[in-house]
Structure 1
Amino acid sequence: MKRRNRSCNQSSIFPKLAVIYGVLFFILSPTASADESLTFCDSTSISVKIKIWVNGVEGQTLEGQSATFSAKIPKTDNGLAKQPVVLTNPLNCCSNLSSELSGFTALARRGDCDYLVKAKVAQAAGAASLVVINDSEDIVEMSCSKKSALDISILVLMISKLGGDALNESLSVGGKVELLVYAPESLIIDPGAAFLWLMAVATVVCASLWFEITKSGETNGNYDELSEKPNYKDDEENEIIEMSTISAVIFVILASTFLVLLYLFMSSWFIWVLIVFFCLGAVEGMHSCIVALVKSKCRGCGQKTVNVPLFGTTTVMSLSVLLFCMAFAIFWVCTRKESYAWVGQDILGICLIIAVLQLAQLPNIKVATVLLCCAFMYDIFWVFISPLFFHDSVMISVAQGDSSSGESIPMVLRFPRLFDPWGGYSVLGFGDILFPGLLLSFTVRYDKSKKRTWKDGYFVWLAIGYACGLLFTYLALYLMNNHG
């Protein structure tokens, strides 16, 4: 009996302990919530949007970046109140301010003291938030080095020099400037990436089968057997460049050298040089693609010739197509910053890729292995290892272009980010299409020489492999938080 009562007493202890722990949890939980409001130097810096109103009229929306010690920024602008903006005095916000800033957003210049000092000075003056104007068009991360919790309770963020100049101009003429800061989240999966994936796969397949697509007109038997036939085959063979093992290695070394030069001397004029070369190659590629398609569908076209000074004799059809391609490229250059310019860039890029894959060919699987392995190491080094030798990832920095002029590298396929509050484009470099395209083009020729059908050949399986590989690339991109 005693043993049973002792057992019952022991079992009754557990409900009591559960009640005690529950009470302690609810007592301590407000303290835990209060700790969440504290800021630390190692908080995550995020991109923010800044809505601007000048004299009550909504103007442009700027983009900025929060400090690592900033207070938490709302994800939406719903229910947020607009805050008036005032310039700090002194402008660097490094010493006690001459005026009370209760409820205002302090606008300060970068420099002369630490970012954390600026935040403390602005908060001591009663500012609701602090906006630091950078001295360049880049937006750098504002960080600090303290390990303990900070007493910063205001929003702290940075904007570019161009955005700061726009705010200063409105304030200088006596206008009332108000702003609202929020940090919308990007979509986890970008639907536009699916279209870019489809575009890349279709380009590789089309370029690999280009000869089969455009040969129908040439193999048509409804023509005079005695008439003179143009020697298209000889012309194509004369223009083919076969890569060797050594040339594959040298090509990757030269590509690395050119990438470093782009990184070190990135400027608007350098990108303009690339734009010019891109247009020249794209015009040639578009011209060859259109001419090949026209000849395959209409064998009687392109017979009439004309003598062009400095260029010699050419067909009227070829000259007309060339003029159209030049006009198309010029139109794209003039409108390259418009919202629809990605269409023209993709058309020019796809034509260039198709032309290159008809010009360059791999002679055997050995050269293909060397080239693709070198390209694999090239990507790994310049994306992930280069920050150890340079301050940034060289390839990602080059892909972002020149921020001061807004110019970007044209050697990419682009597609708009659909339904993304930040806008922008999903991009895919030409190398991610050209290198696999060389291998797929080789398998088409190999299957044809061995008289293999699409069922027992290599091309279909490699095309499926490329499509799956590109899907895994996008999966890795999302898992690594959009790191290239």
Structure 2
Amino acid sequence: MATHHARRLPAAAAAVLLLVLLAGGSAADDASSDDDAGVPPSPGCSNKFQLLTNYIAIAQRGECAFTAKAKIAQTGGAVGLLVINDNEELYKMVCSDNDTSINVTIPVVMIPQSAGKKMKGLLDQGARLEVQLYSPNRPVVDLSACFLWIMAIGTIVCASLWTEFVACEQVDERYNQLARKDGPNSGTTNREDKEIFEISAKGAIVFILVASVFLLLLFYFMSSWFVWLLIVLFCIGGIEGICLMITVLQMARLPNIRVASALLSAAFVYDVFWVFISPLIFHESVMIAVARGDNSGEAIPMLLRIPRFFDPWGGYDMIGFGDIIFPGLLVAFSYRFDRASKRGLFNGYFLWLTVGYAVGLFLTYLALFLMDGHGQPALLYLVPCTLDKEQLEFKEHKKR
């Protein structure tokens, strides 16, 4: 926990504190984006300043880059800088591409407009202010991550068991070698088959390629209106998203383990490439930028998000639909296979693949913690924990 106490300011220093720093500059040079345009001239970006040794400086947002404000305050001897926003929201202060080499060592904190007005009023009255900068520690594990873990596993299990509790008990003819095509249930089975989309190996590869193209479109063209368009098109949130994934896992089915291997292997490469390798080409992670909505300020409605309950910094924990659907297809396939081959809970595949998925998701959150919050490709951990487990089980049964 880092704290810092500023010196108590004499009344005569109040005007210096507010007016000495950061005047002038050009709005076009501000790294904070175009919404700084139109801000009236205020203490801003001039290099003409008085020394503020051991004081914390205050500056109004606007006129020049945040890094320029911080650099001038630091040059003047200030031990910190408070930037007063022009509204009640707290803007995300960033560096431009050319500012990353600037050596700024003092803390820079943005405060809401109302807090800035209150501080200015007190200083105008000659009050003495003491500022404490506090950086709270984040919890190791937030309750929201536990909820997401349970929701993801529950979605896969529910989708796998759905027909067991909702539909009539019928064994899929594809897995029942003894079923007669002219039996009494053949008509019902045919009607069910019409509602099921069976994934092929070729279709799996094409889907990954289309998903990559769509991800690039979101990366380059996603804006606020585009996000709202997606929201209208998908109309999904938390509960709706879970229902949608259950429906997808019911309608799309894997025919065999070979197609499952092709689909999950391609999804594995897709996830790793767009998270870890894409920064080498696009200078930032395309997957993370799209998931967070960096270009629009809104996250896409194709993931489950839960706000962090006990994190003083706020934010969300999230998991993409693909991280549930891709492994879920394999888990649902294993359940149908167990039913068709009349395997029990402990000597079949379904239970152990579900456990493997739970372990893989746990490893994902563990890696997220060890990497200090840097986005992780969940399929990097989920695919080995599910597909490899399935392959080992199949080899073991073949030996028997």
Whether the TM-score (by the shorter chain) exceeds 0.5 is: yes
1:351 lines up with 2:221 in the alignment: no
Amino acid across the alignment from 1:181: L
**How do 1:305-316 residues align onto structure 2 when only pairs under 5 Å count?**
none
1:211 lines up with 2:103 in the alignment: no
Task: Please report how far the alpha carbon of residue 461 of structure 1 lies from its aligned counterpart in structure 2 after TM superposition.
Answer: 1.3
Cα distance in 2 for residues equivalent to 1:403 and 1:133: 24
The residue aligned with 1:86 is 18
For 2:282, what is the secondary structure of its paired residue? coil
The change in CA–CA distance for 1:89 and 1:246 in structure 2 (over 3 A counts) is: closer
Correspondence for 2:196 among 233, 240, 243 = 240
The residue aligned with 1:420 is 311
Task: Please report how far the alpha carbon of residue 268 of structure 1 lies from its aligned counterpart in structure 2 after TM superposition.
Answer: 0.8
1:130 lines up with 2:81 in the alignment: yes
Correspondence for 1:191 among 138, 143, 160 = 143
**Unpaired stretches in structure 1, ≥5 consecutive residues:** 1-73, 220-228, 283-344
The residue aligned with 1:20 is none
| Larger strand percent | 1
The change in CA–CA distance for 1:99 and 1:276 in structure 2 (over 3 A counts) is: same
The residue aligned with 1:389 is 281
Task: Please report how far the alpha carbon of residue 449 of structure 1 lies from its aligned counterpart in structure 2 after TM superposition.
Answer: 2.0
The change in CA–CA distance for 1:81 and 1:207 in structure 2 (over 3 A counts) is: farther
The residue aligned with 1:200 is 152
The residue aligned with 2:217 is 261
The residue aligned with 1:435 is 326
Task: Please report how far the alpha carbon of residue 97 of structure 1 lies from its aligned counterpart in structure 2 after TM superposition.
Answer: 2.2
The change in CA–CA distance for 1:396 and 1:234 in structure 2 (over 3 A counts) is: same
The change in CA–CA distance for 1:445 and 1:119 in structure 2 (over 3 A counts) is: closer
The residue aligned with 1:295 is none
Cα distance in 2 for residues equivalent to 1:462 and 1:235: 29
The change in CA–CA distance for 1:144 and 1:434 in structure 2 (over 3 A counts) is: closer
Cα distance in 2 for residues equivalent to 1:260 and 1:357: 25
Amino acid across the alignment from 1:261: L
Cα distance in 2 for residues equivalent to 1:456 and 1:473: 27
The residue aligned with 2:378 is none
- Corresponding pairs, count: 324
Structure 2 length normalisation: TM-score?
0.69
1:274 lines up with 2:225 in the alignment: no
The change in CA–CA distance for 1:277 and 1:99 in structure 2 (over 3 A counts) is: same
Cα distance in 1 for residues equivalent to 2:364 and 2:54: 49
1:468 lines up with 2:400 in the alignment: no
The change in CA–CA distance for 1:416 and 1:102 in structure 2 (over 3 A counts) is: closer
Task: Give CA deviations for 1:392-411 in whole Å, capped at 9, x if unaligned.
Answer: 1111111111565x422121
Cα distance in 2 for residues equivalent to 1:107 and 1:164: 12
The change in CA–CA distance for 1:470 and 1:125 in structure 2 (over 3 A counts) is: closer
Task: Give CA deviations for 1:329-348 in whole Å, capped at 9, x if unaligned.
Answer: xxxxxxxxxxxxxxxx3211
Q: Out of 203-212 and 231-240, give the one that drifted further.
A: 231-240
Amino acid across the alignment from 2:305: R
Task: Please report how far the alpha carbon of residue 191 of structure 1 lies from its aligned counterpart in structure 2 after TM superposition.
Answer: 3.0
The change in CA–CA distance for 1:458 and 1:180 in structure 2 (over 3 A counts) is: same
Amino acid across the alignment from 2:224: S
Task: Please report how far the alpha carbon of residue 113 of structure 1 lies from its aligned counterpart in structure 2 after TM superposition.
Answer: 8.2
Amino acid across the alignment from 2:313: W
Correspondence for 1:454 among 342, 345, 352 = 345
| Structure showing greater Rg | 1
Cα distance in 2 for residues equivalent to 1:429 and 1:372: 15
Amino acid across the alignment from 1:139: M
Cα distance in 1 for residues equivalent to 2:143 and 2:159: 25
Amino acid across the alignment from 2:275: V
Cα distance in 1 for residues equivalent to 2:210 and 2:352: 31
Cα distance in 2 for residues equivalent to 1:130 and 1:196: 38
The change in CA–CA distance for 1:102 and 1:189 in structure 2 (over 3 A counts) is: closer
Cα distance in 1 for residues equivalent to 2:114 and 2:277: 38
Contact 1:137 / 1:403 at 8 angstroms: preserved in 2? no
The change in CA–CA distance for 1:165 and 1:134 in structure 2 (over 3 A counts) is: closer
Amino acid across the alignment from 1:461: W
Task: Give CA deviations for 1:405-442 in whole Å, capped at 9, x if unaligned.
Answer: x4221211223323211122211111111001101111
The change in CA–CA distance for 1:392 and 1:89 in structure 2 (over 3 A counts) is: closer
The change in CA–CA distance for 1:205 and 1:421 in structure 2 (over 3 A counts) is: same
Cα distance in 2 for residues equivalent to 1:232 and 1:414: 39
Task: Please report how far the alpha carbon of residue 102 of structure 1 lies from its aligned counterpart in structure 2 after TM superposition.
Answer: 7.6
Cα distance in 2 for residues equivalent to 1:408 and 1:145: 29
The residue aligned with 2:58 is 106
The change in CA–CA distance for 1:194 and 1:420 in structure 2 (over 3 A counts) is: same
Cα distance in 2 for residues equivalent to 1:81 and 1:278: 54
The residue aligned with 1:139 is 93
Contact 1:93 / 1:122 at 8 angstroms: preserved in 2? no
For 2:2, what is the secondary structure of its paired residue? coil
Task: Please report how far the alpha carbon of residue 103 of structure 1 lies from its aligned counterpart in structure 2 after TM superposition.
Answer: 3.6
1:398 lines up with 2:290 in the alignment: yes
The change in CA–CA distance for 1:384 and 1:120 in structure 2 (over 3 A counts) is: closer
Cα distance in 2 for residues equivalent to 1:359 and 1:127: 63
Contact 2:57 / 2:81 at 8 angstroms: preserved in 1? yes
Contact 2:306 / 2:316 at 8 angstroms: preserved in 1? yes
The change in CA–CA distance for 1:86 and 1:266 in structure 2 (over 3 A counts) is: farther
The residue aligned with 1:369 is 261
Task: Please report how far the alpha carbon of residue 356 of structure 1 lies from its aligned counterpart in structure 2 after TM superposition.
Answer: 0.6
Contact 2:245 / 2:321 at 8 angstroms: preserved in 1? yes
Contact 1:349 / 1:413 at 8 angstroms: preserved in 2? yes
For 1:457, what is the secondary structure of its paired residue? coil
Task: Give CA deviations for 1:444-470 in whole Å, capped at 9, x if unaligned.
Answer: 221222222223221111111111111
The change in CA–CA distance for 1:217 and 1:109 in structure 2 (over 3 A counts) is: same
Q: CA RMSD in A?
A: 3.7
Cα distance in 1 for residues equivalent to 2:113 and 2:308: 29
The residue aligned with 1:294 is none
Contact 1:110 / 1:133 at 8 angstroms: preserved in 2? no
